[in-house]
Amino acid sequence: MLLDQIAPDFAFAVREHIVIDAPAPAVYQAACEYTPTERFVSTGWDVLGKAAEDEIVLGATGRFWTPLRHRHRISLEGWSAVWEPHLYRIVAGLAVLPYGTDRCVLACEARLTPEDPDATSGFRVYWRVLAPIARLIARASLRAIAARVTAPLPTVSRRAE
């Protein structure tokens, strides 16, 4: 997987998936069109790579726990460069896997790596708070992509009698 090539080593991860009633090519297209402001809540995510019809990998660097976020733009070439201490790298992969003829699985895996190994132990406490929030963001992103390729569920209206 492209995600494993870009970020084989990481300290923290979140993994979520959803089964979508739509063909894999349509879901992959929707994932690629998912705009930067929609991706995982805010801007600052850069496309690090795409695999033909089944995977897109996004990345960001910065101090994500601060109010100003301090994000830095990143390219695949700069991903392995040495960064400042106390910065973290986050990479998120969206993978589309066929699941039968007209369905697929859309998986999201986000990996977080500290630039400063000494910061890892201190970040563990913060991760206990952040991980559930990261899961909610990943699930919301997967649902938003699914909504682009599936028909909305019918709503039930109730009349007061």
pTM reported for the whole predicted model: 0.81
Torsion region of 118: left, alpha or beta (phi above 0 gives left; psi -120 to 50 gives alpha): alpha
Averaged pLDDT of the chain: 79
Where in the chain are the domains? 2-149
Rounded Cα gap, residues 91 and 20, in angstroms: 23
Among candidate residues 128, 98, 92, the one with its CA nearest the CA of residue 20: 98
**Does 88 have pLDDT greater than 70?**
yes
Q: List, in sequence order, every beta strand (DSSP E) within the chain.
A: 12-20, 46-51, 55-62, 71-72, 88-98, 104-114
**Does 24 have pLDDT greater than 90?**
yes
Q: How many CB atoms neighbour CB 8 within 10 A?
A: 9
- Please give the structure tokens belonging to residue 59: 């990345």
Highest mean pLDDT among 17-21, 65-69, 151-155: 17-21
Q: In this structure, which topology does domain 2-149 adopt according to CATH?
A: Alpha-D-Glucose-1,6-Bisphosphate; Chain A, domain 4 (3.30.530)
For 113-160, the pLDDT digits (tens) are: 877 766 677 778 888 888 998 899 889 889 999 999 986 655 554 555
